[in-house]
Structure formats: C-alpha cells, structure tokens
C-alpha cells in the first residue's frame, strides 16, 4: 500500500497562538482580558474549525457580475460567495467594526478589535477588505464634523444588527493612477448649475432621482471612471472628484459620500463595467465603474479631498498590517502542523534540523511583525481616545507624531514580510504547497496584494520621508522631532530589558538606530540619494521597531511567564537583517536600469 500524505490541521486559533495570548496578557488589564477572552476563543474556534472547513469548500467559488436581466434591464448585480455571506454575518455578530467605536475599553478597544480581526481574517478570504474600508469610512465621517452625515451613516457602519448594518467602499484609483491620485479626472457638478440642470439627460445613463434624505444644497452628481473599486457590494462609498471650476492637482479634489443604491436596490447612475480578473483576493469583487451622474454629497469642503480622506487610509493601513500578520500566522501554523505529520528520510520534518531552522526563521518574522502591527493599533486607539494618550512630557514621545510616522512604516514592512513568509510557507509543503486544492497557494496570492494596495512600498517609503519632514527640503524642526520621537519610542521598549539573553538583540537595535540616524542627517541634502535609498531606510526603521518591540515582549514574557520563546524569536530576528541601509552608488542603479 502506498503511504498517503496527511493534510495539515488547525486547532482553536486563539488557544494555539502563544504570541497573541502573551501579548494580550501584557497589554490588557486583567478584567478586560477576562471579559473579552470568551469571544476571542469562540472566534478562534470558528477560524480553526467550521469557518476553515467552509473556506476550503468554497475555494472554487468566485463573485459573479450579472449586467442584464432576462428582459433587457441593466441590473449590474454582483453576487458574492457563500463564504463571504457567512463572513459578513460573523463580522457583524462579533462587532469587527463596532468594537472600535463602542470604546467599551477606551483606547484598548482598538487592540480588542484588531485581535478579533487577526483571528477572523485568515479564514474569510479577505473579507477584511470591506471591513477595513467600512471602519475607515466611519472614522473619516466622524472626523469630518458633518453632523447630518454622521447621523445618517455612522450608526449603520458600526452596527451590530445584520438588518441595518452597512459596508463602505473607497473609490480613489482611476485610470490615471492610484498613487498619483491628484491626476483624477472624475468631475463633480452641483445640481442646479447651468451646464447640468438635468443630469439625467446624459446619454446612456440609468438616471434616478437623488435620495430624498440627501437632496438640497449639498447635492452633487459625479461623472467619471473608477478603475479599482473593491467590494462593490457595499452600500456606501467615499470617493474623490473635482468640482467644476476647481484647479488641477490634489488640492482641487473634493471628498464625496455616495449611497450606491435606491430603496429598490438599483444602482444609482453607476455602471459596473466588469469585475477584475486578479492574481489573488479573488473573493473580493473589485470592479471597474462608470459614474454617470451618480448622486453624491460633499463630506467636507469643496477642496482638499486627499487630505480629508487620509484618516481612512490610516485605518485601512492598520487593517493591512493586521491582515499581513494574520496571514503569516496562518501559514506558519499550517506549516508547523504539517512538519509534525510529514515523514521524509525516515523521520518527521519537525525533527530535521534544517527544516526546523527554516520554520523558526518564519516564526521570528511573524512575531516581529505581529508586535509592530499591534503597537500601531495601540497608538491608533490612543489617538482616538485622547484622554488615554500618554503626554509627551511623561515619556518624551509625541504619540500623534509617532503614529503619523509608524503607520506607513508598519504597513510597508509587514506587507513585504507577509509575501516573503508565505512564499517560504508554500515551499515548506514541497509540491503539495503548489497544488491548488490544498488551499495553500491562495495564501501567497492573497498576501501579494498587501504591499500594493493602500500605498505601495515605494510610495509609503517616500511618505515616511515626508513624515520625517525631510522630503524635498532639508530637515525641518518637525522632522527632526519625528525622528527624536522614534528614538524615544525605541528607548522606551528597551528601558526595562535586563536579561543577558537579550543583550545581543538590544545591541542590534541600537546599532541599526544609530546607522539610520547618521544616514538621515547625512543624506537630507542629497535629494536623489534620499529618494533612492528611501525603501531601505524605511524598512530599517520598520525592522528596528519590530525588534525593539519583540525584545520588550520577550523580557516581559521571561519575567511573567518564565517563557523563553519570545526571547528566542528576538535573537533569531536580530540575526535576520535589521539594518538594511547599504551604500549603493545611484549611478550603478541608473546603468543597470538603462
């Protein structure tokens, strides 16, 4: 009889996750930890059990677009897969968006929400995408000060009631680009202006009246093509458009709120041209849309749309980081389980030193990334509940400045790690990892989107320079302050570290930090070098922060749990390339490129 291979299995994804449990034990007050643990455990059970099995069974299903009904009516109906319908139900029931806004536990509600999202994400095929945008939309609308819109939309976006809960989309990217959105061509016309008295007269439009609750002075119509709009099944969207007469460039764009459908469920002057045929995230219905007089409402002002939508991007970047660590965790959990089952050369892979070494490297990467993403969750929570914020005078850390700097750094660092880790996870299964019906290849394909959407690695590296105030000019006071804040945050991670088992990682943090600082102040005058090295610099900041956070957790775990595993992860991570700044001659790059 030939031997069969045994597939990997998952247990309760909360109980089996040392890193999550140890982190929560450190940062949460005991009463809060006790209170939320049952729901985390229940979600962990679903994620490793019923939901995981459903995910495997749903593998070949994809969303469908039906553009016409049998009688020739344009309907543009998008149907999502059974897994996504279940994911929607679970997300509302567990309050995956609501938790952050109910603020039952003050600023730590963000950590609670992110722990839920971390458990939920790997078994729900990127349903985290609409949740991230819904969360971001709620944050933008709340911070807009637009009271009518707050009352109209926010209760639905953060609802725990499946009957009235909404999701939101975010339509920024056009054919002209997703990074350089200042080029956007979608136009906005105020209803009643001379040139467009009757927006419904536009040829080929499927015009419908404005929703009554939004008619009035603030009513606008949008015309243009949105090239990437994920989860077009959402009830509402935030989008950018240029009001007639506004100047070109980013400043001339305004931020609009759109309710996609009327009371009969028909799209309001929106045509879904097609769903994208993508490498991964295949359950996410990412559509190309034409807006043909789509009714819309201003969120805040008639200009500065990019600035006004930025609170949304901070939230979706946080979700991106949480998704990155969640997918890494899933990949490593499956690979570790498989290593105990798969026999090769007379013993399980889990007894082969080189395989164990390979998996240990992945675990260390995932662990560093985990602490970074959750640290940004902590900072996000404190920015949302200012009463919980630490005053700069208390620890020399201006947390607002720190959050501005670390959000792009965390997003870009963890996104890249996810792709690398999941690529290695595929290899850890040998040929089986490359075979579709194991469900494994999807992990890598889905991870590949994480460095692209919500800001590519390069775009966010340049944003890191902006956050430091060194983009375009010499460092300004604010920029120097941002780096000082970064150093203070690193110092606060290291201040209680006393165990000699962590000495080497601490030295690695300090030397990478010194090098980054020297590089920054040496290079700020050389704009070309600054830009060319920006990714290596931002990744160095990211990996340094990860190692410092990991060391901090490791010391706590040694002291409070007598557990040396986080310290082992810190030592391993310290030896995996923290300082990535190397002097490359920019002329070499030009020669190689041409």
- 179 sits near ligand FAD (criterion: CB under 6 A): yes
Least separation in angstroms between residue 455's CB and ligand FAD is 6
- 281 sits near ligand FAD (criterion: CB under 6 A): yes
Tokens representing residue 162 in the block: 């499946």
Q: Which CB sits closer to ligand FAD, 380 or 457?
A: 457
Q: How many residues bind ligand FAD (CB under 6 A)?
A: 23
Residues in 157-176 at the binding interface with ligand FAD, rule: CB under 6 A: 169-173
Least separation in angstroms between residue 278's CB and ligand FAD is 5
Tokens representing residue 77 in the block: 């109906």
Q: For 439, left (φ over 0), alpha (ψ -120 to 50), or beta?
A: left
CA 366/CA 373 separation, integer angstroms: 11
Least separation in angstroms between residue 179's CB and ligand FAD is 3
Q: Which CB sits closer to ligand FAD, 170 or 323?
A: 170
CA 443/CA 426 separation, integer angstroms: 9
Give CA separation, 106 vs 101, 323, 387, 574, in Å.
9, 23, 9, 34
Q: Which CB sits closer to ligand FAD, 61 or 395?
A: 61
CA 238/CA 258 separation, integer angstroms: 6
- 320 sits near ligand FAD (criterion: CB under 6 A): no
Pairing verdict, β 236-243 and 168-171: parallel
Q: Which CB sits closer to ligand FAD, 125 or 378?
A: 125
- 319 sits near ligand FAD (criterion: CB under 6 A): no
- 273 sits near ligand FAD (criterion: CB under 6 A): no
Residues in 449-478 at the binding interface with ligand FAD, rule: CB under 6 A: 449, 452-453, 456-459, 462
Least separation in angstroms between residue 464's CB and ligand FAD is 12
Say if residues 22 and 561 touch (Cβ distance below 8 Å). yes
Least separation in angstroms between residue 300's CB and ligand FAD is 18
- 140 sits near ligand FAD (criterion: CB under 6 A): no
Write each residue from 230 to 249 as x if it is in contact with ligand FAD (CB under 6 A), else as -, in one continuous string. x-------------------
What are the two backbone dihedrals, phi and then psi, of residue 159, each rounded to the nearest 5 degrees?
Answer: -75, 150
**Gap between the terminal Cα atoms of the chain:** 58
Pairing verdict, β 187-190 and 236-243: parallel
Say if residues 275 and 63 touch (Cβ distance below 8 Å). yes
Residues in 30-49 at the binding interface with ligand FAD, rule: CB under 6 A: none
Alpha carbons within 13 A on the beta-carbon side of 122 = 33
Give SS3 for 67. Answer: strand
Q: Which CB sits closer to ligand FAD, 187 or 348?
A: 187
Q: Which CB sits closer to ligand FAD, 92 or 172?
A: 172
Least separation in angstroms between residue 228's CB and ligand FAD is 3
DSSP 350: G
Least separation in angstroms between residue 429's CB and ligand FAD is 25
Q: Which CB sits closer to ligand FAD, 306 or 569?
A: 306
CA 468/CA 390 separation, integer angstroms: 21
Q: How many CB atoms lie within 10 A of CB 85?
A: 13
User: Among 345, 261, 253, 252, which residue's Cα sits nearest to residue 295?
Assistant: 261
What are the two backbone dihedrals, phi and then psi, of residue 74, each rounded to the nearest 5 degrees?
Answer: -75, 120
Q: Which CB sits closer to ligand FAD, 178 or 392?
A: 178
Least separation in angstroms between residue 175's CB and ligand FAD is 9
CA 422/CA 428 separation, integer angstroms: 10
Least separation in angstroms between residue 125's CB and ligand FAD is 12
CA 510/CA 523 separation, integer angstroms: 20
Span near ligand FAD by CB under 6 A; candidates 47-55, 201-209, 226-234, 293-301: 226-234
Q: Which residue is nearest to ligand FAD (CB)?
A: 178
Write each residue from 401 to 420 as x if it is in contact with ligand FAD (CB under 6 A), else as -, in one continuous string. --------------------
DSSP-assigned beta bridge partners for residue 68? 74
Q: Which CB sits closer to ligand FAD, 210 or 470?
A: 470
Least separation in angstroms between residue 157's CB and ligand FAD is 16
List strand residue ranges (DSSP E) for 265-364, in order. Answer: 270-275, 287-298, 343-344, 347-348
- 286 sits near ligand FAD (criterion: CB under 6 A): yes
Least separation in angstroms between residue 314's CB and ligand FAD is 15
Q: Which CB sits closer to ligand FAD, 177 or 247?
A: 177
CA 363/CA 360 separation, integer angstroms: 5
Q: Which CB sits closer to ligand FAD, 460 or 497?
A: 460
DSSP-assigned beta bridge partners for residue 261? 267
In this chain, which of 38, 145, 162, 177 binds ligand FAD, going by CB under 6 A?
Answer: 177
- 178 sits near ligand FAD (criterion: CB under 6 A): yes
- 527 sits near ligand FAD (criterion: CB under 6 A): no
Least separation in angstroms between residue 134's CB and ligand FAD is 12
Give me the sign of the Cα torsion angle 320, 322, 325, 327.
negative
Instruction: Give the H or E element holding residue 187.
Output: strand 187-190
Task: Tell me the DSSP string of 381-413.
Answer: HHHHSGGGSPPHHHHS--HHHHHHHHHHHHHHH
Q: Residue numbers of the site for ligand FAD (CB under 6 A)?
A: 169-173, 177-180, 228-230, 278, 281, 286, 449, 452-453, 456-459, 462
């Amino acid at each position: 009889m030939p031997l069969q291979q045994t597939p990997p299995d998952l247990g309760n994804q909360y109980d089996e996750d040392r890193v999550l449990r140890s982190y929560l034990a450190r940062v949460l007050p005991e009463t809060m930890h006790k209170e939320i643990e049952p729901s985390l455990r229940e979600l962990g059970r679903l994620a490793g059990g019923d939901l995981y099995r459903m995910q495997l069974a749903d593998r070949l299903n994809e969303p469908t677009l039906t553009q016409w009904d049998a009688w020739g009516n344009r309907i543009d109906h998008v149907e999502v897969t059974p897994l996504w319908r279940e994911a929607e139900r679970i997300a509302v029931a567990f309050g995956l968006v609501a938790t952050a806004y109910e603020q039952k536990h003050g600023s730590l509600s963000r950590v609670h929400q992110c722990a839920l999202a971390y458990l939920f994400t790997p078994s729900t095929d990127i349903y985290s995408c609409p949740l991230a945008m819904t969360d971001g939309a709620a944050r933008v609308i709340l911070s807009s000060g637009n009271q009518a819109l707050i009352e109209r939309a926010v209760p639905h976006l953060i609802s725990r009631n499946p009957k009235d809960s909404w999701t939101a989309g975010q339509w920024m990217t056009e054919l002209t680009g997703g990074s350089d959105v200042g080029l956007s061509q979608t136009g906005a016309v105020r209803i009643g202006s001379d040139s467009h008295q009757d927006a419904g007269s536009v040829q080929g439009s499927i015009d419908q009246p404005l929703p009554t609750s939004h008619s009035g002075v603030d009513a606008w119509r949008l015309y243009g093509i949105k090239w990437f709009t994920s989860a077009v099944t959402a009830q509402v969207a935030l989008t950018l458009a240029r009001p007639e007469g506004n100047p070109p460039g980013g400043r001339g764009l305004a931020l609009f709120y759109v309710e996609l459908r009327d009371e009969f469920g028909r799209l309001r002057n929106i045509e879904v041209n097609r769903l994208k045929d993508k490498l991964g995230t295949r359950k996410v219905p990412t559509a190309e849309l034409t807006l043909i007089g789509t009714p819309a409402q201003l969120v805040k002002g008639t200009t500065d749309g990019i600035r006004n939508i930025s609170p949304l991007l901070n939230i979706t970047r946080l979700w991106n980081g949480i998704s990155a660590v969640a997918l890494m965790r899933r990949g490593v959990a499956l690979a570790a389980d498989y290593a105990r089952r798969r026999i090769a050369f007379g013993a399980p892979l889990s007894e082969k030193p080189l395989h164990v070494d390979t998996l240990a490297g992945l675990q260390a990467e995932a662990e560093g990334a985990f602490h970074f993403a959750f640290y940004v969750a902590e900072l996000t929570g404190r920015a949302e509940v200012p009463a919980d914020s630490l005053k700069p005078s208390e620890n020399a850390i201006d947390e607002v400045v720190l959050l501005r700097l670390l959000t792009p750094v965390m997003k870009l660092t963890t996104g890249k790690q996810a792709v690398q880790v999941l690529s290695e996870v595929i290899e850890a299964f040998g040929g089986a990892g490359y075979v579709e019906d194991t469900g494994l290849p999807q992990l890598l394909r889905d991870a590949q989107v994480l460095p692209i959407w919500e800001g590519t690695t390069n775009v966010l590296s340049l944003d890191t320079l902006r956050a430091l105030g060194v983009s375009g000019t010499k460092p300004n006071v604010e920029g120097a302050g941002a780096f000082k804040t970064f150093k203070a945050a690193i110092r606060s991670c290291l201040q209680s570290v006393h165990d000699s088992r962590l000495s080497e990682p601490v030295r690695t943090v300090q030397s990478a930090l010194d090098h980054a600082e020297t590089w920054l102040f040496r290079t700020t005058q050389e704009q070309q070098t600054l830009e060319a090295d920006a990714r290596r610099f931002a990744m160095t900041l990211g990996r340094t922060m990860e190692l410092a956070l990991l060391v901090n957790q490791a010391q706590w775990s040694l002291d409070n749990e007598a557990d040396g595993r986080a310290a082992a992860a810190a030592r391993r991570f310290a030896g995996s390339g923290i300082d990535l700044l190397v002097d490359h001659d920019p002329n070499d790059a030009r020669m190689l490129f041409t």
